[in-house]
Chain A
Amino acid sequence: DTAVSQTPKYLVTQMGNDKSIKCEQNLGHDTMYWYKQDSKKFLKIMFSYNNKELIINETVPNRFSPKSPDKAHLNLHINSLELGDSAVYFCASSQWNDNYGYTFGSGTRLTVV
């Protein structure tokens, strides 16, 4: 029973398309995150939601829009995909300000062609 699950695991799409990545956690955590790992292997936070409220919104193009319908879900929608969006996207969850409890999903490898 996966704690943080992301779908799809792999996503190949053409430039200009719109795509979504879904994330669900069954740990009862109240905070969820999206991290991006680029080609240089740098893991960088994009968004954080606490109890469905946006808490962290790093400098991310507004083509990226997170949606949190409830505490257990945080989806990422990307409009007008560009080549530079190719990366691995990790969803994670934790309890508010609990650094021990950061649990990551297995990642979604997005390739834009």
Chain B
Amino acid sequence: DQQVKQNSPSLSVQEGRISILNCDYTNSMFDYFLWYKKYPAEGPTFLISISSIKDKNEDGRFTVFLNKSAKHLSLHIVPSQPGDSAVYFCAASKAGTASKLTFGTGTRLQVTL
């Protein structure tokens, strides 16, 4: 039962353009959402998060949007840079679950010159 889904396994974007990574979830009890970035041979690193009481959170070039009614969130990267090429994991958690994060399967972003 995959509660967090990233339906696009890969995405290719030109440098300077916008990258949009999508994530869907099925569990309405999730109230906190995160994006992690992973380079090869490294562990995932925290990128940005959003609480269910918000619909947008911005940090520099990264913005996460949350649509609770659609159970959908997206990560926008503007402008995209070659160093953004990595695998991006969406994750979700619910209150009272002892910090347990449920991850999606990841989207590999390739930013081309």
Residues of A within 8 A of B (CB): 4, 31, 33, 35, 40-45, 48, 50, 55-56, 90, 92, 94, 96-107
Residues of A within 8 A of B103 (CB): 35, 42-44
Which residues does chain A contribute within 8 Å of B49, judged by CB atoms? 99-100
Docked complex Cα distance between A60 and B44 (Å):
22
CB A60 to nearest CB in B, in angstroms, measures 14
Query: Would you call A98 and B99 a contact (CB within 8 A)?
Result: yes
Interface: B32 (CB within 8 A): yes
Chain B nearest CB, measured from A97 CB (Å):
5
Determine which of A41, A45, A55 lies in contact with B101 in the assembled complex, contact meaning CB atoms within 8 Å.
A45
Which residues of the other chain, A, contact B93 by a CB distance below 8 angstroms?
A: 99
Check if A55 sits within 8 Å of B98, measured CB to CB.
yes
A43/B99 contact (C-beta < 8 A), A99-B34, A99-B49, A99-B93 known: no
Total count of chain B residues near the partner, CB < 8 A: 22
Q: Select one of B42, B98, B101, B105 contacting A102, CB under 8 A.
A: B101
B98–A40 contact, CB under 8 A? Answer: no
Residue of A nearest to B89 (CB): A43
| Complex contacts, B44 vs chain A, CB 8 Å | 43, 90, 104
Across the interface, which residues of A come within 8 angstroms of B87, CB to CB? 41
- Since A41-B106, A42-B2, A42-B103 are in contact, a sample of 19 more A-B pairs with Cβ atoms closer than 8 Å, ordered by chain A residue number, is A43-B89, A43-B105, A45-B102, A56-B100, A90-B43, A96-B99, A97-B98, A97-B99, A99-B49, A100-B46, A100-B49, A102-B46, A103-B45, A104-B45, A105-B43, A106-B42, A106-B43, A107-B42, A107-B43
- Of B44, B89, B99, chain A has the most CB atoms within 10 Å of the CB of B99
